[in-house]
Every structure is written in C-alpha cells, then in structure tokens.
Structure 1
Amino acid sequence: MINNKVLSIILGGGQGSRLYPLTAARSKPAVSIAGKYRLVDIPISNCINSDLKRIYVLTQFNSASLNKHIKNTYHFSFFSHAFVDVLAAEQTIHSDKWFQGTADAVRQSMHHFLRNDFKYALILSGDQLYNMDLQDMIDKHEASNAEITVATYPVNAKDATSFGLLKTDNDNTITSFIEKPASDLLPGWKVDVGEEMEKEGRHYLASMGIYIFNKDLLIKLMDDPDTNDFGKEIIPQSIHKYKTKSYQYEGYWTDIGTIESFFEANIGLTDDIPKFNLYAEDRVYTRARILPTSKVSGTILNKTVIAEGCIIQAAKIERSVIGIRSRIGKDSVVSNTYMMGNDFYESLQTMEDNKIDIILGIGDRCYINNCIIDKNCRIGDDVKIEGGKHLKDQETDTYLIKDGIVVIKKGATIPKGTIIK
C-alpha cells in the first residue's frame, strides 16, 4: 500500500561539522550506525513502515556515498509509484546558491515536489534515531484540520537549550515558540507534558524537526525568499497565522548531532533492553549484502552486537558494536567501542603483493576502550587506546579526541605499539 496523500521529504542537513571527522568524506545521513545501517535508513524505514513510499532525500555536502547507498538499497516494483530519490543542491535559473537552511532546501526543490500529486508534505530530519508511527501523526493532523503539525518531544532542562521549545493550549494548538533559549529563560517555558514525563524531569516540549504542512500552505510559505529555516523562522512566524498543532511523541528519540550523542546512541544498542529496538516488528531497512556469517574463536562476548562477515579472535569484547567485515586479532580486548567495519575484504594475495604489514581491522594484543573506529582502518599489533574524560580535545592526521572519545579517522593506519591515553 502507498499513501498517495503524503509526500515525504528528508532533510540531509548541512556540512555536519559537529560530527566531524565522521562527515569529512560523507554527508550526515550516510554515516554508518549499528554496524550495518546508515543514518538515512532510519527516517526512510519509518516512512516505509508507515506506508509512505514516495520519498525525497535533500542533500548538498559529500553526497556521493549517500547516492550510491540509496541507489543500491531502495528498489520497488516497476508497477509501483513508490520511490526514494536523492535531490542534491543544484543551480537553476531561479537560484545559483547552496541551500541556505532547511526551508530554503525545500524551496529550491519545490519544482521537483510539485511534479507529484499530494495533499500533505511530511518533512523529516536525516540524522535522528527513533521508531515512530508517522501515519498516526498524519491521521491526527487530518482529524484536527490542522494546517501545520509539529512533532514534539518532552526534554529535560539540560537538553532544552539545544532545541526549539513551544507551549500549547488544552487542544494541542501551539501558542508560543522559541528557538534554542538561554538557560535563564527556561523557567517560563515549562509546560504540562503528562505525569509520566514530569516524573522523569522532562518539563519542556521540544520540536523534533518533523513537520506536516498542507500542500497549499507550503507553496505559499515557500514564496517568501527571506525565510530560510523552519525552526528559526517558518514555525515561529506561522503559529499565530495558521492552525499549528503539536503531536507529542514519548517513545525513544535522539538527535544525533555530536560525536558524543552518536557514540552513546550506538553503545546504547548493546543494552539488554535497548531504548532503540532493532528487533521490533517494524524493521530498519538497509542494503542487502551477500556476506558470510561472522566467525568468533576463543572470545568472551558481553553485551556486544556483531554484524555479518566478521572474523574475531579477540580475548574479550564488551559493550561494543562491531560492524560488517571487521577483523579483530588474538588476545585483544575491546570495550565501549563502535567499530564500523570495512567496505571490502583483503585477500592474502593482495597483502603479499602490496607488502601490507598492518592489515584491515584491529591487530593482536590491542586494548581499545571508549573509541569510534571509522571504516577501513588499520590498527597495528600492541596498540593501546584508552579514551575517557581525562583526555583533552585534540586532532592528528589519523585520529581526533572529542569529549573523551577517541575517533579513528576513515582509512587511517595506527602504527604498531601506538599508545593513546
């Protein structure tokens, strides 16, 4: 089934500087998550699971790997109107500029959207982790005769300053909105979010950056070239002009905008009952790879997620996510680590012909803790990496330390015996 009333638009985000170096050579939606998925798979899967199968992904930075992933992943029947298409920023007779913000990205792409018949535009972020029934949000938008609906999420005071906050009346109509308020303004923005949420100290209602617009209104709003962002301009300017509703979501949701939040989201998947459930009936879709099963020899595994095609001989792996085609050598210990894995296998003949001394993956007798290892890295034997808050933020050619997390850059080689602690 396809819901032909709705057109889904996923915003790929800007340069993704807060996720650097993971975004040095790829866009944010293309960053690997959970060892086998890409971030963009999350909103796309939420759409597909909600029978919303006409999807555009807007991006402009480092979009090559994202284009390739989507092209190789999302195929529908020739007789279906379903699609997932990437729209990169492009020069036209109307605009020769990069996307200037979320609303400007939609404005510059409107000529593509209007080739489709739709009643509602669903606008989503490409860098969030959540599992949401989007059809329920659409049903409530339609039933309330809203012109705009904003998905909202109760947050605590620590997180509130990072989001747009809003107030609602008893009918869930949004009455006030402020973008990323200073902490001294927070007392005036407490709202009734429900007894359960208040018990958790979540007194503020934050915008999730997920919106539904009626088609005619979206066209009208996009006629103003001076409004470039939904959160900063469109929503605050619209709440007193158009019927704007809040759709409060109380499931798991996290905005993956920083290295720390990205690390915590991945390591959280190793919990006995993870907040983001990969094992739910609503699946997360991704590229179907023809990989062998993973092979583990003599390794103690505890709270560890291992993807396909791995060869592991480590002594112990604990509270870690090990991505596709990973190799971990003998007597190594890996903990609190997200290892993204590899894009290819390296044959013995290739290693011999190219005189490769440090093979892909983690070598023998290594100790790795509090670390993100990007794709296709080579970590030599006897390397010790001890991440933690004791480390100062710094960057080298092969790694970056941010908030105590050591990030090994994509394709980096860490020489044998290296110590980072």
Structure 2
Amino acid sequence: MINNKVLSIILGGGQGSRLYPLTQERSKPAVPIAGKYRLVDIPISNCINSDIKRMFVLTQFNSASLNRHIKNTYHFSFFSSAFVDVLAAEQTPSNKGWFQGTADAVRQSMHHFLRHEWDYALILSGDQLYQMDYDKMVKAHIKNKAKISIATIPVTAKEATEFGILKSDENNVITSFIEKPDASLLPDWTSDVSDEMKSQGRNYLASMGIYIFDRKLLVDLMNNPETNDFGKEIIPQSIGEFKTLSYQYEGYWTDIGNIDSFFEANLGLTDDIPKFDLYDRSKRIYTHARMLPTTKVSGTALEKTVIAEGCIISAAKIEKSVIGIRSRIGDESTVINTYMMGCDYYQKLDEVLDTNIISMGIGKRCFIKNAIIDKNSCIGDDVRINGGPHLEDTDNDLYTVKDGIVVIKKNAVIPNGMVI
C-alpha cells in the first residue's frame, strides 16, 4: 500500500500570538473548535480518513494540554504500526535552541523521523480548517514523478495579496513563486484553473502550506542550517531546481490563524449547509470520546445554533452561536453570534445553587453578542457583553477585544452586572 510509505508531520506552529488570548495557556493545535474538537483533530482526522496513520505533531509552546488530548484520544491497535506522537522542542548536544521556523522544526526532529521506514513526508499545518483526501495527492505526486508537491487552492485577486502565489504550467508543474504579491503584479500570475473557479474569479493559485517531499530530498534539504522556513525559503529555492507539482484543491479551506478568521470559521458551522461538513461519514472528524449526558434545553428559542453534548440551557434566546460541551446558560439570557467553548468539568450542584458563587457558564438575564467565551469562564447575572466595531482593541486580566470580538479568557470570572 502506498500510504504505508508516507509519514505525516503536523506543524503545531509557534507561540500563536495572533490567536491570543486563546493561546495564552495552550498551544495553537490544542485550541477548541466547533464546541467539542481541537484544531489538531483536523489534520489528524484527514490523515486517518486518507489511511495515513503514522503522525508526528511538532510543537514547542504550552504543549501540556495538547499532549494530554492526543494521549487520551488516539489509540490504535496493539498490532498496528499506527501512532500519533507529540514532539516538543528539545535540547540536544547538537542543538540547544527553540524551533526557528517550520523547516527548522523538521530539521531538529529529523532523528525521530529516520527511525521509521518511509519514502514520502507529508507536511501539514496545525491551524487550518478543511477536509482533504491526502491519498489522491500522494498518488498524483508519485504518478508525476515529482520531488515536491504543494497543495494549492484557487483564490481571488483580493485574497492573493495575502498568500504565497504559485504559477504552474499546463502539466501542473510549478514554475515560479511570489510571496504576498502587490496587486499591480497579479496580471502576470494567473494559472490554469477549472471553469467553476474561473467563474468565481479565483484565477490565482495560493499555497495551502501542505507539502509532500521525497525522503532523500527532504533529508538533503535539512542538511542546510541556513534555511529555517518552508514557505519563505525551502519552497522558493527548490522550484527551479527540483520538479515541484501543484496539486489543486477546490474544496473549503481556511487558515484560522487569527481571532477574526477563527470566529468566522466557527460561526460558519451554524449555516443551513455549512462549508465545513461535520456530517459526512466519509470525512468524519475524530476527537476525544467523552461519556457525557444529553443536552437539556428549557424554554429557549433556538435559531441557527449548534449545541454540543452535556449542556444545561434555560436561556431566552440563542441565535447563530456554537455552544460547547458542558455549557450552562441561565434563565432569560440572550446569546447571539457567540462561540462558547464550554467547560472541562461539571461543578457540584451545591456550588451551582450557591448565590454567593459565580458558577461556570452564563448566568441569568445576560446579553452576550459577538463574543468568544473560553473554557471554564464564569459569567455572573445581568452581564452585558456587546461586541462590535464600536469597541477599541484592549486587553486585561478578564478579557481581550480584537477586531470588535470580545474574548472572555479561560477561567475568567465576570462579576454580576458588568458591562463590556
């Protein structure tokens, strides 16, 4: 089988400052999405669905919760060679520093990879939302005798200035690369795309940050300590020297590296037909299996709302929101355009009933709009949070405002009657 020759390397990213404060206490791949999953579940699930079952996840910041999630989630047969291992940056006799970039992370971890048999390395990002069959990409790589393959997605002229843009010939071989081109340069950077993509004005091929390398080439490239990043150095330098294939993907894909795109991607799940399909059996997303009770809803008007298991809800109204596991929302509260991540555990009943304690979840008579509520947050009664462009960016111990989105920090306690 071809996929027995593939080793997957998932790049967890750096400090994740663009996703702060969600990355204040956790690594970027461990950030909760869609009410019950973690970001790292996306590339891991895509690998499993593509029958690629040997994976390393590379990270270096706040990796404890990521380690715990992977250890508790991904168990394979004792007689299988499948595994998901986390590799955090480590000091060795030959290296005493942190990862300096995506390529440097692979370089520093190469001695772990070489203990396994593989012909092709599949290198993935840990902060993207998409469902892709890597098996087709691997087969295209082998069929075309490429040394490097890059997954590309057609984008519009407006989007192209934010990506690395590739130009390919009639055989899908990449001939040139430019990083975040100025709009004035774009007429020279169109590529051959499908008629459907042309009709949408998506004529430019953006790199998705998904790569396949032949083993020998990757090992040789990693011997150069001067190159630290795939997108900025390795790929541009390799295009003219080694056969590099563009593998076009036309499905839903979004880079959720900042608060705004993260918020938009999660609320997009409430659409009647969401672009990211969690209900497709052939593309299912795996995560930690929890033994939680059913969700209980009392007297609540629900409109375009996704609710995870184990919640207790008696709000007046919830609209276009994602409500995560073990969430509690009190009487007469209204929640609109909000991603509530939920809780890691249930409080005891006497704590919930104690009026002197602000319990986890949202209290009574609250109004919450345009917000992200991180795990285990405690929001008191009569709290009003009204996010939007009228709010200036700010950061304090309880919450952060970015691009008009109010992010209540993990474990924060918002007192009764507070207005944001």
TM-score bracket, shorter-length normalisation: over 0.9
Matches within 5 A, 1:235-246: 235-246=235-246
Asked whether the equivalents of residues 47 and 134 of structure 2 are also in contact (C-alpha less than 8 Å), the reply is yes
Cα separation, 1, equivalents of 2:2 and 2:160: 36
- Please tell me the root mean square deviation across aligned C-alpha atoms, in Å: 1.3
Asked whether the equivalents of residues 73 and 286 of structure 1 are also in contact (C-alpha less than 8 Å), the reply is yes
What displacement does 1:125 show? 0.3
Counterpart secondary structure, 1:262: helix
What displacement does 1:401 show? 0.9
Cα separation, 1, equivalents of 2:227 and 2:180: 18
Matches within 5 A, 1:131-210: 131-210=131-210
Counterpart secondary structure, 1:171: coil
Where does residue 321 of structure 1 map in the other structure?
322
> Which has the higher mean CA deviation after the structures are superposed, 217-226 or 186-195?
186-195
Where does residue 122 of structure 2 map in the other structure?
122
Where does residue 292 of structure 1 map in the other structure?
293
What displacement does 1:418 show? 1.1
Where does residue 410 of structure 1 map in the other structure?
410
Cα separation, 2, equivalents of 1:279 and 1:356: 42
Counterpart check, 1:57 vs 2:72: no
Please tell me the residue identity of whatever aligns with 2:312. I
- Runs of 4+ in structure 1 deviating by more than 4 angstroms, as ranges, are 350-353
Please tell me the residue identity of whatever aligns with 1:302. E
Distance 1:365-1:350 versus aligned 2 partners, 3 A rule? closer
What displacement does 1:198 show? 2.0
Where does residue 357 of structure 1 map in the other structure?
357
Asked whether the equivalents of residues 2 and 82 of structure 1 are also in contact (C-alpha less than 8 Å), the reply is no
What CA deviation, in whole Å up to 9, does each residue of 1:358-416 have, x standing for no partner?
Answer: 11000001111111000000111111111111211111221111111111111111111
Please tell me the residue identity of whatever aligns with 1:366. C
What CA deviation, in whole Å up to 9, does each residue of 1:288-332 have, x standing for no partner?
Answer: 011100000001111100001000000011110000000000000
Cα separation, 2, equivalents of 1:417 and 1:158: 43
What CA deviation, in whole Å up to 9, does each residue of 1:215-241 have, x standing for no partner?
Answer: 010011001000000000101000111
Asked whether the equivalents of residues 388 and 405 of structure 1 are also in contact (C-alpha less than 8 Å), the reply is yes
Cα separation, 2, equivalents of 1:186 and 1:356: 61
Please tell me the residue identity of whatever aligns with 1:208. M
Asked whether the equivalents of residues 351 and 357 of structure 2 are also in contact (C-alpha less than 8 Å), the reply is no
Please tell me the residue identity of whatever aligns with 1:383. V
Distance 1:363-1:351 versus aligned 2 partners, 3 A rule? closer
Cα separation, 2, equivalents of 1:11 and 1:367: 38
What displacement does 1:350 show? 4.3
Cα separation, 1, equivalents of 2:237 and 2:99: 20
Cα separation, 2, equivalents of 1:248 and 1:372: 33
Where does residue 278 of structure 2 map in the other structure?
278
Where does residue 395 of structure 1 map in the other structure?
395
Percentage of pairs with the same residue: 72
> Which has the higher mean CA deviation after the structures are superposed, 149-158 or 106-115?
149-158
Cα separation, 2, equivalents of 1:259 and 1:198: 30
Asked whether the equivalents of residues 54 and 84 of structure 1 are also in contact (C-alpha less than 8 Å), the reply is yes
Asked whether the equivalents of residues 311 and 326 of structure 1 are also in contact (C-alpha less than 8 Å), the reply is yes
Counterpart secondary structure, 2:273: coil
Distance 1:2-1:69 versus aligned 2 partners, 3 A rule? farther
Cα separation, 2, equivalents of 1:413 and 1:385: 14
Cα separation, 2, equivalents of 1:143 and 1:403: 45
Counterpart check, 1:98 vs 2:98: yes
Cα separation, 1, equivalents of 2:180 and 2:94: 32
What displacement does 1:201 show? 2.1
Cα separation, 1, equivalents of 2:182 and 2:75: 45
The answer for unaligned runs of 5 or more in structure 1 is none
Cα separation, 1, equivalents of 2:417 and 2:200: 46
TM superposition score normalised by structure 2: 0.98
Where does residue 4 of structure 2 map in the other structure?
4
Distance 1:107-1:350 versus aligned 2 partners, 3 A rule? same
Counterpart check, 1:331 vs 2:337: no
Please tell me the residue identity of whatever aligns with 1:309. G
Where does residue 370 of structure 2 map in the other structure?
370
What displacement does 1:285 show? 0.2
Please tell me the residue identity of whatever aligns with 1:342. C
What displacement does 1:162 show? 2.0
What CA deviation, in whole Å up to 9, does each residue of 1:92-136 have, x standing for no partner?
Answer: 111111000000000000000000000100000000000001000
